[in-house]
Structure 1
Amino acid sequence: MKYLLSITICFLLADCSLVKAQNHAPKELPRIAYAEMLKEHDTLVSYIKQISPVIYYNKEVRGIDFSHYARQLKKKITPKTTMGEYLQILKKTLNAAQDGHTSQVNSTLLDVVKEYWIPAKLVAFGSASTANMYDYVRYLKEAYYAKPELNLIYTSGEYYNMLAFSYKGTDYPAGMKLLSCNGKNIHGFVKTLTELVSPLRWDRERNRVYDENFYWPAEIYKNGVLKLIFADKNNVSHQLNIGKQDTVTYLDNKNNDYGYLSQTDTVITHYFEKTGIFYAKIPAMREELGDTIKRRLVAAFQQHKVKSMVIDIRGNGGGSDNTYSKFLSKIVQDTLKKKVVVARNFSPYIQAQYHINRDSVLKSNTYTFNPGVPTLRSQEMYYIKQDFNFVVPDSVTLPFDGKIYVLQDKFIYSSASNLSSLANNSEQLVSIGETPDLLSGLQASTLMMMLPYSKFIFRVEPQIDLTDIKKVDDIFQNHVEYPVQYSMENLYLRTTTKAHIYGKDFLQRHDPMFAKVLELEKIE
C-alpha cells in the first residue's frame, strides 16, 4: 500500500495555509522567452493530462472540460506576455484541473520539499533550483489576490456574511444573504470561476459549485471594484461596491475561526460524567496527536466507565491515517477495513513512474484493467484492488462495546475524510455533521514536477478512489450518516462567543452535532 496512501509530511490542501497579499516591494522576476512559455505550457498540460484521473472525472460527471480551459489559456500567451502574466496563466491552468491536490506549491510545502523530499530523492530537482519558485509564490500572493476579507459563509445553499461590518461610513448588518456579484446572480457568477478558484466545492444536492472566498481573485474586480448586492433579514437591499485594495471594519468581534484549523493546534479531551462520553478533538492527523489521545483514553478508562466516544475532526485538513489508528485500535471490536479499488491513468508518464506496463498489469494479482466497478470512459486507466486494514484491534484492548461518533464539517480533507468513509462502512463508527463537498477518498502521494525554463514547481494527484461505488458519480466519496448543518445563528454564536467552543459547557448547550450524539445515545 505504499503508493495508495496520502503522503503525511505536508499540508494536503493547496491553500489551507494561504496568507493573502501584503504590501512588499516588488522583486524582479526571472524571465523566459515567448517560445519557452509556449513550450512550458504544453508541458504543464501534458503532465496534468497524463497524471490526473480527476480531470476525466470532472469532465464526465461535472461537465468541467480541462482541455478546453487549457487551450483558451494558451491563447493568452503572446510575445508581449510578461513573466507575471505568464505565472498567472500557469496558476489558472492548474486551477482548471479543479482538484485540491493539483496546484502550484506554496512556500510551506517548498520548505518541506527541501527538508525531506529532495534528500530522499522523491523529486527530480535539487534545492538550488527551488529559488525561483519562492519568488513566484511571493509574487502570486501579491498580484493574484485582492485585499477584502468579508467572512462569507455558504449554508443551506446560500451565501451570508457572518459578521456585521462598516465600509466607507455605511454599516452592514450580520446575516445578510448575498444575491449577486457584478450584476450576475451569485451562483451563476461563481460557476464562471473555474480558472480562478480551485477547488470549487460542489453542492451535489443543488448541483452547484460554491466557494466562500470567491471574491479573493483580483481579476474579478472590474476597474478595481467588486459590486455585491445583499438582502438583510427584512429583505432590505444593501449594495457594497468595494475596492480590491480596501478592507472593511468589523462591528462584531471575531473570536473563533470557522474553517481549517492550524497544523499547530493541539488535542482537547473531556470526560462527561453523566453520559459516560469520552470526547477527543483532533485538529490535524499528526501522529503525535494520536498518541496523546491514546494516553488520555487509557487514563479515562482507568478512572471512569466509558460508554461511548466522540472523535471531533471538524476543521481537520488531514495528514497521516496512522493517527486515528493509534487510539481506535484500543477500542474497536473489529478490524476497520476496506476492499480498496483505486484508479490511475495508464499513460506513458504513469507507466514509467510506477514501473508498470500492459504485461505486468495483466500478470498481476493486484493490478487489473477490469476492476468490477463502474469506470470512467474517457481515459484508459489501470486499477489497484487490495484488501486494506486501516485499523486493527490491539492484542489487548480496552473494555468497550459502545458507539464511536465522528463529528465532521465541510472543512475535512484527505485522511480526515478517510476516517469519515470508514464510519460509513462500520457498525460501531457513526458519522455526524456535514460533507466536505470536495472530491475525497483514498489518495496517493502527489507527484511533484518542475517546468524546465521557469523552474515553476507544481504537484498533481495521480489517483481516484472507486471503492464501494455504484455509479461513477459516487467517486466523489462524500459520506455522512446523520446530516447536521449549522444554522446562521449557530455559526454567528460560534464565531463571536468568548466561550471555548470545544469546551464541555458549549458542547452540551450550543453544539448541534454534539446534541445529535446525545439524541442517539438516548435512543439507544
Structure 2
Amino acid sequence: MKIIIRLTILSGLIFLVSCKSENGKTELKESYSLSEQEMLQDFEVFESIYKKANAGLYKYHSRSEIDSVFSKNKAEIKDNVSYREFYNILWNVIDYTGSCHNELTYPDSLDSHLSKQKIFFPIPIKYLENKVFTNLEYKNIPIGSEIISINNVNANQFVTSIARYVSTDGFNKTGKYKKIETDWLPFYIYLSEGKLTQFEIEYKAPNSDSPKKSTIESVSYKDFYANYNKRYSKEFESKFNNDYSYQWIDSLSTGFLEVHTFAMGGPETDGHKKYAAFLDSVFTTLKTQKVETLIVDVRGNGGGNDPNDLLLYSYLTQREFKENTSAFTLFQEIPFQEYYIDDDVEELKNDLKEEHSILKEGKYYQNNNFNKVWKSRENAFHGTIILLIDPYVASAGSLFASLVKSDENTVVIGEETLGGYYGHTGHIPVNYELPNSKLHLTFSIVDLNQDVTQLSDEKFGDGVKPDFKVGQSYQDFMNNRDTQLNFAIQKIEKL
C-alpha cells in the first residue's frame, strides 16, 4: 500500500472556502462540480460492477439485504452532496458486504493536493482495553494520555466513526479498531469529519484523574507521518518487520518461529526458495531435537504469495489438506471493460478460463489442477503448537491461522484476526474507475471456502478467534512489553 492514501479528484473540480462551524472552530468547506446526475451515474456503474463481478457480494448477507443497502444509500444522493459525502455513500455499501480486500480510493491528483494541506489530526494513537491513548508526547499532552473526547465527541463514539473505513471479512470488528493505530489514521478522520483546521482534545494524563483540554492545530500529512515515525510504540512494533526468523528458547525447551508475512514471492522466485530452505532446516532441527512445544508467531501477517502459507502449514499438520474446499468467480471475461483500468484483460481472461473452468449454476469453479492435495511433510512437527495472532492477520495470513487452529494440537493466543476463519474473497484483485468521480474501486474476484474444521467457537463471518483472548495491556504498552508472548511463555511453563 502507498503511504499516502489515494484521496484525490481531478484538480479542476475542487475549490475551498473557510467558515465557522457551530462550535466556533474554523472548518474548511468543499464544493465540487459533480452534479446529482453524475453521482447517480457513478453509483449505478458501481452497483452494476459489484453485482456482475464481485463473487463475495452475497457471502454474508442475502440478496434482498444487499439490494436494500444499495437502494438506501442511492437515495442519499442529492445535488448538495459533497465529493467526500459521495465517497461515504459508496463506502457504506462496500463496508457492509464484508471483505478485507475491498478498497475505494480517490484518484492520485487530490491525493497529493490534500496531503499538503494542514487538515489532518497530528497525534498517532493506541487503542487498548477499549480506550484511546496518545502514542506520542505532543505539545503539552504526555505519552499515554487517555483521550476522553475529540471536538466534544466521546472518544469511543469518535473511534467508531473512523474505524468503519477499515474493511474486514464478515462481521469482524476487532480489525477495524486495531488499524486506526496505523498511518492511515488521519485520512480515516478526514473521511469521517471533513477538513478541520484544529482539534480540541479532552484527555487525562497518566496517573491522573483530572481531565484537561488542549486545542491543537491540524497538520499536513507529511507532518503527521513524521510524528508517526516517532511514535512511542515503534520500537516494540519493529519486531514484526522481519519477514521470518527462528530461535531456541532454552529456558523453556521451546522453539520460537516468527513468520510476519507470506510476501516472499511465488514458487519460482528466489525469495520463495530461500524461505522453503529455511523452513526445511528449522523443522529438521525440531525433529532431530525432539522438541515438544513450538511457538508460531504470525502477528502482523497480512498475507502474501501462494504457496508460502500452505508450505508452512504442511510442516505443522499430520493431515492431507487443500487450500480450499471450493473457489469460484462469476466470470471468465472481464465485465464492464470500459471502466477497467488494469492492462491484463487478455491475460486474466486466459488465466480464468484455464483455472476456473467448471461452470455450475452461473459460477466458474476452480479445477483440481490449481487446488492440489498437500501432504504432511516427513519432518513435520508433532508436538504442541502455540499460535500467536492479532487483528492485522488477514488474507493468506488468516487462511494459514485457520488451518492451524483446525488441528487439535494447537493453542491460539491473541486477538481475533481481521481475515475470516471459514473463508474469504481474495486471490485476484481487479481495479475499476468510476466515470465521473474517478474514484478507484478495488476488490478481489474469487470467493473461497477454506479447508477447516467446523468449531463451536467459530461462527460464520468470524475471524480466527483465540482460545485465550489477550491484547496488549496499557502498562505493557507504557513499558514496551509483549503481553501476548509473555502470556504464551507462562502457559508453556505450566505444561
TM-score range, shorter chain: 0.5 to 0.7
How far the C-alpha of 1:472 sits from its partner, in A, is: 11
Q: Map 1:71-150 to 2 at 5 A.
A: 71=74, 74-76=77-79, 86=83, 89-90=86-87, 93-94=90-91, 96-98=93-95, 99-104=99-104, 133-135=107-109, 137-139=111-113, 141=115, 146-150=119-123
Among 207, 211, 218, the residue aligned to 1:244: 218
How far the C-alpha of 1:433 sits from its partner, in A, is: 1.1
**Paired positions, count:** 430
Aligned to 1:451: 434
Aligned to 2:155: 186
How far the C-alpha of 1:37 sits from its partner, in A, is: 5.0
| Structure 2 CA distance for aligned equivalents of residues 512 and 207 of structure 1 | 18
Runs of 4 or more consecutive aligned structure 1 residues displaced over 6 Å after TM superposition:
29-33, 57-61, 200-210, 248-252, 342-346, 348-355, 364-369, 381-390, 469-472
> Do the aligned partners of 2:120 and 2:218 also contact (CA within 8 Å) in 1?
yes
C-alpha change, 1:343 and 1:105, in structure 2 (3 Å) is: same
The answer on 1:155 being equivalent to 2:128 is yes
Aligned to 2:386: 405
The answer on 1:268 being equivalent to 2:245 is yes
Q: Map 1:490-509 to 2 at 5 A.
A: 490-494=476-480
Q: State TM-score, norm by structure 1.
A: 0.65
Aligned to 2:460: 474
Q: Map 1:335-414 to 2 at 5 A.
A: 335-336=320-321, 340=325, 391-394=374-377, 397-398=378-379, 400-414=381-395
CA deviation map 1:342-388 (0-9, x unaligned)? 68789x98899999xxxxxxxx998877xxxxxxxxxxx97979997
| Structure 2 CA distance for aligned equivalents of residues 226 and 292 of structure 1 | 52
| Structure 2 CA distance for aligned equivalents of residues 229 and 58 of structure 1 | 39
The answer on 1:166 being equivalent to 2:138 is yes
Aligned to 2:166: 198
Q: Which runs of 5+ in 2 are unaligned?
A: 15-31, 265-270, 338-344, 350-355
| Structure 2 CA distance for aligned equivalents of residues 318 and 333 of structure 1 | 23
| Structure 1 CA distance for aligned equivalents of residues 473 and 259 of structure 2 | 23
C-alpha change, 1:477 and 1:326, in structure 2 (3 Å) is: same
| Structure 2 CA distance for aligned equivalents of residues 282 and 135 of structure 1 | 36
Percent identity over paired residues: 14
Aligned to 1:282: 259
CA deviation map 1:1-50 (0-9, x unaligned)? xxxxxxxxxxxxxxx5433699x9x9657999855554233202332344
C-alpha change, 1:404 and 1:382, in structure 2 (3 Å) is: same
C-alpha change, 1:206 and 1:464, in structure 2 (3 Å) is: same
The answer on 1:39 being equivalent to 2:41 is yes
Among 479, 485, 490, the residue aligned to 1:514: 485
C-alpha change, 1:158 and 1:454, in structure 2 (3 Å) is: closer
| Structure 2 CA distance for aligned equivalents of residues 411 and 418 of structure 1 | 13
> Do the aligned partners of 1:151 and 1:162 also contact (CA within 8 Å) in 2?
yes
> Do the aligned partners of 2:103 and 2:167 also contact (CA within 8 Å) in 1?
no
How far the C-alpha of 1:315 sits from its partner, in A, is: 1.1
| Structure 1 CA distance for aligned equivalents of residues 379 and 169 of structure 2 | 39
C-alpha change, 1:480 and 1:350, in structure 2 (3 Å) is: farther
Among 275, 288, 291, the residue aligned to 1:306: 291
How far the C-alpha of 1:481 sits from its partner, in A, is: 2.2
The answer on 1:218 being equivalent to 2:190 is yes
User: CA RMSD for the aligned pairs?
Assistant: 4.9
